[in-house]
Amino acid sequence: MTSIATLGSHCALQVLKGAKDEGFRTLLVCEKKREKLYRRFAFIDELVLVDSFSELLEQHCISKLKEQKSIIIPHGTLISQMSSSQIESIEVPIFGNKWILRWESDRNMKERLMVESKLHIPKSLSSSSEINSLVIAKRHGAAGGKGYFLATSKKDYEMKRNRLMSQGLIKGDDDLYLQEYAFGVSAYLQYFYSPIHNKIEFFGVDRRYESDIDGLGRIPAQQQIDIDKISSFNVIGNSQLVLRESLLDEVYSMGERFVEAAKKLVVPGMNGPFCLEGVYDENGKFTTFEFSSRIVAGTNLYVDGSPYSALIYGEPMSMGRRIAREIKIAMEKNQLPKVVT
Ligand code: AMP
């Protein structure tokens, strides 16, 4: 019997709950320090205990997953804990397109895919000497906003960069990517693309609550100025959002353009869940500063379905469950290779 496996973090609970609801056996690769947490949930059939997630690459884990006929559901933790080459080398089927995860981790490839998708994106800067407006300095990979900072000039940038270097968070300029800061209302658009039905589904939207940038608004301006601290963008949690209905048509178009571009640039394309991340300006125009080419943790909000999945499904449909449903349909149709790599 096929089982669904994932790493114990990020959105593991939602993914395995959804898999169980669809009738799969579930397996969690779990760090020993988190065993107590995950044992609380009856829908997890088996825990494979490890000291660190890098053990996923070792034979004892791989053999276990193969023996259980597992399909791995990739999420943010997999990407942040392993290099693209390591992920690509895993000899167990991975849901979606494992090759596209490299396009998420590499800033240049990422930009290329967003340009090909004809998304409106903020300008990137090739060096700090180009800074002449508000920019955000971002670390590479799925850093989750930790160690990101804002700067308005080269001098400001260098001061903050040096501070992060002394904290050991970065080694130098090469670890940072500079992008114009996009003003507006942030929105993280969650999609699912089914290669079986050749159809995109808009699944939900969330906002992130990021420490400490989102806490700053609670402090009067005078005290903000006096605080000698570099504000980071580390995600702490997510909150729900629904969009004006008039924005939805463009939401679908952006998702479809992304799927089309991915089919061209990284075969077999953007299969499964993904997220376009950005801000809406005063005219309802969306600027995309980032994408995730796998399930995002913001979908954890909608374990019982979202205001958008409810329009498509007559039953509670989380993103985790939608993934399991796609695997189930693919198996029934003898088309599993279409949904895994
Ligand atoms: P990311 O890792 O790119 O998702 O960025 C983490 C956080 O930094 C986002 O959730 C936003 O709050 C913020 N951010 C990233 N890029 C931009 C940008 N170009 N303009 C405004 N905010 C940004």
pLDDT digits (tens, 9 = 90+) for 268-312: 999 999 999 999 999 999 999 999 999 999 999 999 999 999 999
Q: What is the pLDDT of residues 164-210, one digit of tens each?
A: 999 888 899 999 999 999 999 999 999 999 999 999 999 999 999 99
Tell me the CA–centroid distance for residue 289 and ligand 1, in Å.
6
pLDDT at 102 over 70: yes
Best substitution site from 277, 288, 291, 292 to test ligand 1's pocket, by max atoms within 8 Å of Cβ?
Answer: 277
**Which protein residues are within 6 Å of ligand 1, measured from CB?**
122, 136, 138, 145, 148, 179, 181-182, 186, 208, 210, 233, 277, 289-290
Using CA atoms, how far apart are residues 128 and 191, in angstroms rounded to an integer?
34
148 Cβ partners below 8 Å, 6+ apart? 136, 137, 138, 139, 232, 233
Count other C-beta atoms under 10 Å from residue 33's C-beta.
11
Residue 336, φ and ψ in degrees, nearest 5: -55, -40
Mean pLDDT of 67-76: 97
Q: What is the pLDDT of residues 117-127, one digit of tens each?
A: 999 999 999 99
Best substitution site from 281, 290, 296 to test ligand 1's pocket, by max atoms within 8 Å of Cβ?
Answer: 290
**Confidence bin at 229 (pLDDT 50/70/90):** confident
Q: Match 């669904």 to its residue by tokens.
A: 4
**Confidence bin at 217 (pLDDT 50/70/90):** confident
Ligand 1 atom with the shortest distance to the CA of 142:
2
pLDDT at 25 over 90: yes
Tell me the CA–centroid distance for residue 210 and ligand 1, in Å.
10
Closest residue by CA, ligand 1 atom 12: 233
Please answer whether residues 23 and 11 qualify as being in contact, where contact means their C-beta atoms are separated by less than 8 angstroms.
no
pLDDT at 143 over 70: no
Closest residue by CA, ligand 1 atom 5: 145
pLDDT over 90 for what percent of the chain?
88
Please answer whether residues 184 and 282 qualify as being in contact, where contact means their C-beta atoms are separated by less than 8 angstroms.
yes
